[in-house]
Amino acid sequence: MATYSRNETGRRAALGLLLGAAVLPFAGTRAHALDVAEARSLIDRVVFEIKRIINSGKSEQAMYRDFEGIFDRYADVPTIARSALGPPARTASRAQLAAFGDAFGAYLARKYGAQFREFIGGEIEVRDARQLKNFFEVRSTVDLRGQSPFSVSFMVSDRSGANKFFDIVIEGVSLLKTERVEIGSMLERRGGDIDRLIRDLRSA
C-alpha cells in the first residue's frame, strides 16, 4: 500500500515537473520539488506570523484564534490526523476518517495554539534547515523569559501536494508521536469505538 502510493506520488511529481518545465518560460511559475531554501522560507513565514500575532497587542483570546489559523494555513492536518489515529485508520470508513480529521484538526489547533501563547514576550528565530530523507527539518530557537532557550523544529514536506509542516518537535518531543500515544489511549479507553472518540474529541 505504501509502495503503491509512493509510486503514485513519484509519477505525479514527474508529471508536475514536465508540466512545470513547459509552463515556466511563459508564466514564470515554479513546479519543482521542495528544497531546503523553500522549506526554510515556509517556516520563516510561520515564525513571522507567530511574531506578528504576539506583537499585535490583541486580547489573549484573539491571539489564541490567530494561532489556530496557523495550523489551518501551514500544517498538513489530514496527514497528522491519520497518523495520530494509527493502524485503526486503515479499517475506518471514509466518513469516519473525514469526521475524525475535522474533530482532530480543531483539537490540535486548540491544544497547540495554546502552546504558542508561551511565546508572548519571548523571541523565536529560525536557526537552520536541513534535509532528512524525504523531508526537511527547519530548526528554530525559542528564547522565553526566565528559561533556558528551547529548540523547536518544524518538519516540512510537499508530499500532500503543497508545502506544509507535518510535525512540530519541541526539545525532542514530537507532536506527531505524542498525539499518536494520546489518541491511541483515548481510542483504547473507548473500546476502539472511533465514533465515540470523534464525539469526545470535539469537546476535548
Strand partners, 164: 157
Piece in contact with other proteins (CB under 8 A), picked from 34-42, 47-55, 86-94, 98-106:
86-94
Please identify which residue in the block is written with the cell numbers 508545502: 163
**x/- binding map, residues 153-192, to other proteins, per CB under 8 A?**
--x-x-xx-----xx-xxxxxx-xxx-xxx-xxx-xx---
* Residue 82 or 199 having the CB closest to other proteins: 82
User: Is 6 a residue that touches other proteins (CB under 8 A)?
Assistant: yes
Work out which of 121, 133, 145, 191 binds other proteins, going by CB under 8 A.
133
CB burial readout 22-58, b (16+ within 10 A) else e: eeeeeeeeeeeebeeebbbbbbeebbebbeebbeeee
Does position 94 bind other proteins by CB under 8 A?
Answer: no
Question: How far is residue 174's CA from residue 153's CA, in Å, rounded to a whole number?
Answer: 9
CB of 87 to other proteins, least distance (A): 5
49 near other proteins (CB under 8 A)? no
Cβ proximity of 145 and 122 under 8 Å: yes
**Contacts of range 111-116, beta carbons closer than 8 Å, 24 or more positions apart:** 112/71, 112/168, 112/175, 113/64, 113/65, 113/67, 113/68, 113/70, 113/71, 114/64, 114/67, 115/170, 116/50, 116/53, 116/67, 116/70
Q: Contact region for other proteins (CB under 8 A) — 21-29, 33-41, 65-73, 148-156?
A: 148-156
Reduced to 3 states, what is the DSSP secondary structure of residue 134? coil
Rounded distance between C-alpha atoms, residue 49 and residue 68, angstroms: 11
Q: Does 42 bind other proteins (CB under 8 A)?
A: no
In terms of CB distance, is 51 or 110 closer to other proteins?
A: 110
36 lines the binding site for other proteins (CB under 8 A): no
Identify the DSSP state of 75: B
C-alpha cell at 104: 482532530
By CB under 8 A, name the one of 128, 147, 193, 202 that touches other proteins.
147
Residue placing its CB nearer to other proteins in the complex, 39 or 80:
80
Size of the residue set binding other proteins (CB under 8 A): 52
Chosen residue from 45, 51, 111, 196 binding other proteins by CB under 8 A: 111
Q: Which of 32, 115, 127, 192 binds other proteins (CB under 8 A)?
A: 115
For other proteins, the closer CB: 22 or 118: 118
